[in-house]
Structures are given as structure tokens and as C-alpha cells.
């Protein structure tokens, strides 16, 4: 009889082989007894219900059903929920923590490609690459070599909104460059900002002084439309807004007005609504560069999420602490 604890996948079935390719699945199965062919998409399913009664570790992912009290009652042996994606808000309930069940998330792993995307866009935006490409495409001409005033990545202020995992990683990635990052975050004090190596500014001051502003705050009632008409008006002419967080953090009607005026440029990997309706002006406005929510883990990057879960399972079974434990108290202001 296997001594490995019973585990169960709970996510959209097609994500299992992408997040847990053969080499990652093999490593996970060194720690737990898990069947990749049995994936819980509905906890009411009789076969899933039977497996749930034996499950000690639930390996969750995108599409995981809600873990309400009835589900938790049906899983009396459950001791850990290891999430192979970012936020657990869509399915986790306070009852998990009340029962002493450990919760872990691969949010830190998912933050890496988002920060890399952001860095790439900051550097491209600083050189006006995106708009220059559009101008060349429209005119079919090139001015040839020559100095272009007003562009460049030497000494440009980059304002980071939110010291989330992604925001902090962006600050790390910016260190080798001659840019001047600054941070705004109501939960960070001067001492912590100094440890991150950046000045801490109120949001208004950051917007007024930044040539590029990148948004990495969580979506909460307090952050809804935190970048609205008034805030956008504070940004200097020619500034660039990057949003890889959540679309609702930015007032899109106000943003469209600024883009139509040609005053600002926006790089949006998330929108409100998402996906955009076919008639959205953001598809056609020259100052808008919109990508389909691809900054997060995609393709071969998904295996990093699965590996994070496999490593967490190893720590758990060795009696150690989870490296990426999710604290219920911090969940309310997390992404």
C-alpha cells in the first residue's frame, strides 16, 4: 500500500497536462498519490465525491469549484490546498482556514512573466517603439537615422502603482537600467520603500512626475477606477500608462478620451470589460496597444506553476513550512 498521501486535481481538466507536463507530474507523484485522469470540475459528481473523502491534498488551478462548507465536510482528511495559479479568491472560503487547512498559491511564480512583460513594455515605450511602428505603417516612409527628441530610457521616471509581488519584481528588474523608479502604495511605509530602493510618493505626485506609470495593485472596492479622469489629467503630456493588473482599476471612458486627444499612450493587457466588445475604440485608437491578457503564465511558463506546487508538496510532507502560504488576513487586500 502506498504511503504517499492521497491528492486530487480540482481545475479545468485541459489545464492539467499544460501545468503538469510529464516531468513535473512525475515529480509531484513522488510526493503524493494523484491520478491525472480524475479531475474535479464538479464536487457533486459521485466519483469525485468518493475521491474527495480520501483526499488529503487538493491540487487546485484555474476553474476550481468553490470550496464551501459542504465540500469541506465531504473532505474530512483534507489538510492542504496547493493552488497552481495566482489568486485563490474565486474558490477559497474562510472555512478552509478555520479548519486549519494550509493554503498555498503559485502567485509568486505567475508574477515572474507579468513582470517580464512589464519590463519589456517599459523599455519599448521609453523608446516610443510602439507608436513609431504605427506611424511607419501608416505613412510607409522612414525619416532615416536622426536624433528623436523626447524619447529614451536614461533617467526617465517610472511610477509603480502597488508593491504587490509583481510590482516588487518589476522594481527588481528595473535595477540594472538607468531609469528612476518610484512607488506608491498605501500599505508601504518609507522604511520598506527604502529597502526596495525607491522613493515612496503619494499617487498624485507619482502620476505628475512619471513618464511611464505601470499598475500592479489588487482589484478591491477601494481600487475600482483608482486611475480615473482626475488622475489621468495629472499625467504629463506624452506619458504612458501600462496596466497588467485588472481592467477595472482604470476608468476606460476617461482613458479613451485622453487617447483620442493624443495626450497619453496606453499599454493594456487587461481591460474592462474583458474581453473587449468588438466595437471598442481601444482596438483602433493609435495611442492604444492592447494585448489579450497574455502577460501572465502562458505556454511553457505554465510548467513553472506546476513545479511550484510539486515543491510545496515536498516541503509539506517533509514537515517544513510552505514557502507560499496564503494568509486569510491578507487575502482581502490581495489580488
pLDDT single digits (tens) 14-41: 999 999 999 999 999 999 999 999 999 9
- Residue 234, all three cell numbers: 495629472
Tell me how far apart the alpha carbons of residues 12 and 223 are, in angstroms, rounded to a whole number. Answer: 29
Tell me how far apart the alpha carbons of residues 70 and 51 are, in angstroms, rounded to a whole number. Answer: 15
Q: For 50-64, 142-156, 285-299, which range has the lowest pLDDT when averaged over its residues?
A: 142-156
Tell me how far apart the alpha carbons of residues 111 and 107 are, in angstroms, rounded to a whole number. Answer: 6
pLDDT at 1: 36
Indicate the helix (H) or strand (E) that contains 184. Answer: strand 180-184
pLDDT tens, position by position, 130-187: 888 888 888 888 877 788 889 999 999 999 999 999 999 999 999 999 999 999 999 9
Q: How, if at all, do strands 240-243 and 212-215 pair?
A: parallel
Tell me how far apart the alpha carbons of residues 192 and 187 are, in angstroms, rounded to a whole number. Answer: 10
- Residue 33, all three cell numbers: 498519490
Q: What is the mean pLDDT of residues 78-100?
A: 96
pLDDT of 97 > 90? The answer is yes
By annotation, the residues acting in catalysis are 246, 274, 293
Tell me how far apart the alpha carbons of residues 13 and 63 are, in angstroms, rounded to a whole number. Answer: 9
What φ, ψ does residue 160 adopt, rounded to 5°?
-105, 120
Kindly state the percentage of the chain with pLDDT values over 70. 98
pLDDT tens, position by position, 237-287: 999 999 999 999 999 999 999 999 999 999 999 999 999 999 999 999 989
Give the mean pLDDT of the chain: 95
What predicted TM-score, i.e. pTM, was given to this entire model? 0.93
264 closest CA partner among 291, 294, 229: 229
Amino acid at each position: 500500500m502506498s504511503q504517499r498521501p492521497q491528492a486530487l486535481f480540482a481545475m479545468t481538466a485541459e489545464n492539467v497536462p499544460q501545468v503538469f507536463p510529464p516531468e513535473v507530474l512525475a515529480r509531484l507523484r513522488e510526493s503524493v498519490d494523484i491520478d491525472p485522469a480524475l479531475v474535479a470540475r464538479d464536487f457533486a459528481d459521485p466519483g469525485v465525491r468518493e475521491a474527495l473523502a480520501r483526499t488529503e491534498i487538493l491540487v487546485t488551478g484555474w476553474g476550481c469549484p468553490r470550496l464551501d462548507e459542504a465540500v469541506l465536510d465531504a473532505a474530512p482528511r483534507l489538510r492542504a490546498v496547493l493552488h497552481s495559479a495566482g489568486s485563490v479568491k474565486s474558490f477559497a472560503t474562510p472555512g478552509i482556514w478555520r479548519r486549519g487547512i494550509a493554503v498555498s498559491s503559485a502567485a509568486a511564480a505567475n508574477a515572474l512573466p507579468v513582470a517580464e512583460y512589464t519590463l519589456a513594455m517599459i523599455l519599448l515605450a521609453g523608446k516610443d517603439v510602439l507608436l513609431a511602428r504605427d506611424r511607419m505603417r501608416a505613412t510607409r516612409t522612414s525619416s532615416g537615422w536622426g536624433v528623436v527628441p523626447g524619447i529614451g530610457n536614461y533617467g526617465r521616471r517610472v511610477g509603480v502603482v502597488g508593491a504587490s509581488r509583481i510590482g516588487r519584481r518589476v522594481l527588481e528588474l528595473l535595477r540594472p537600467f538607468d531609469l528612476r523608479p518610484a512607488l506608491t502604495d498605501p500599505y508601504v511605509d518609507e522604511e520598506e520603500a527604502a529597502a526596495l530602493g525607491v522613493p515612496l510618493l503619494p499617487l498624485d505626485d507619482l502620476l505628475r512626475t512619471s513618464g511611464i506609470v505601470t499598475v500592479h495593485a489588487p482589484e478591491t472596492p477601494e481600487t475600482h477606477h483608482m486611475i480615473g479622469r482626475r488622475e489621468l489629467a495629472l499625467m504629463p503630456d506624452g506619458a504612458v500608462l501600462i496596466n497588467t493588473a485588472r481592467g477595472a482599476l482604470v476608468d476606460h471612458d476617461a482613458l479613451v478620451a485622453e487617447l483620442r486627444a493624443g495626450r497619453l499612450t496606453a499599454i493594456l493587457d487587461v481591460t474592462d470589460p474583458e474581453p473587449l466588445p468588438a466595437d471598442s475604440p481601444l482596438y483602433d485608437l493609435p495611442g492604444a496597444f492592447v494585448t489579450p491578457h497574455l502577460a501572465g503564465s502562458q505556454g511553457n511558463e505554465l510548467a513553472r506553476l506546476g513545479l511550484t506546487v510539486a515543491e510545496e508538496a515536498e516541503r509539506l510532507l517533509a514537515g517544513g513550512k510552505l514557502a507560499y502560504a496564503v494568509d486569510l488576513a491578507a487575502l482581502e487586500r490581495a489580488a
